[in-house]
Amino acid sequence: ANDCQDPPDYWTIHGLWPDKGEECNRTWHFNVTEIKDLMSDMRHYWPDVLHSSLNRTQFWKHEWEKHGTCAATLQVLNSQKKYFGKALELYQHIDLNSCLLKAGIKPSSSYYQMTAIKEALTRFYGVTPKIQCLPPEEGEKAQTIGQIEFCFTKELQLRNCTALKGESDAVQADLKLGTEELSVCSDTLPTYYPSQVQ
């Protein structure tokens, strides 16, 4: 619904999401003062590109209330400072931007094979991430890479992101609908990695 505000030309953080969020404390509201010493890193690596500059904390508030309050059942994530700080730390540790560059995968007007992207990431990290794409728009043949999800154990060690049984069927349905939603990328479609998603 909104235009991207100042889109960065590097991979940023979407969130840190526990898989099974049964024990979320919805009454634990976001308080930006708790992360004030993280603000410059937050603005850089976890920017809100959908809301205007007046309220650039809206994205973080959403991520805390939906995911952070669930993640807080782990001692290492049991405060807003720890939750956002640990997500920033994991982002730096993964260093996706330089990994892709080292593998020769960079924004381009020509297409990539999804299998080549997956292989490069798996080779570099030793685990398989979940790569999500926007399906081709009408009349186009290529999907657009949109999100790369890394999975961790509760001890915050990297692990494989394996698709759940039956998940691939839902993904194909998504692609047929041509929705604007991200879904797991197809291994067979050419893949567009733009410098900015329009």
Range 170-180 average pLDDT: 40
Catalytic residue among 22, 67, 89, 155: 67
Same domain, 134 and 183: yes
Do 189 and 148 lie in one domain? The reply is yes
Q: Does 14 participate in catalysis according to the annotation?
A: yes
Spatial separation of the C-alpha atoms in residues 158 and 127, rounded to whole Å: 7
Cβ contact 151:161 at 8 Å:
yes
Quote the tokens at residue 3.
């235009």
Active site residue 149: no
Please write the tens of the pLDDT for every residue from 65-94.
Answer: 999 999 999 999 999 999 999 999 999 999
Q: Which of 94, 128, 147 is at the close of a domain?
A: 94
Q: Is residue 127 situated within a structural domain?
A: yes
- CATH of residue 157: 3.90.730.10
Question: Is 119 found in the same domain as 85?
Answer: no
Domain that holds residue 52: 1-94
* Residue of 14, 62, 65, 149 with catalytic role: 14
Q: Per the domain annotation, does 101 fall within a domain?
A: no
**What's the pTM value of the predicted model, to 2 decimals?**
0.86
pLDDT in tens, 12-58: 999 999 987 677 888 999 999 999 999 999 999 999 887 766 668 99
Shared domain for 86 and 128, answered yes or no, is no
Query: 33 in helix, strand or coil?
Result: helix
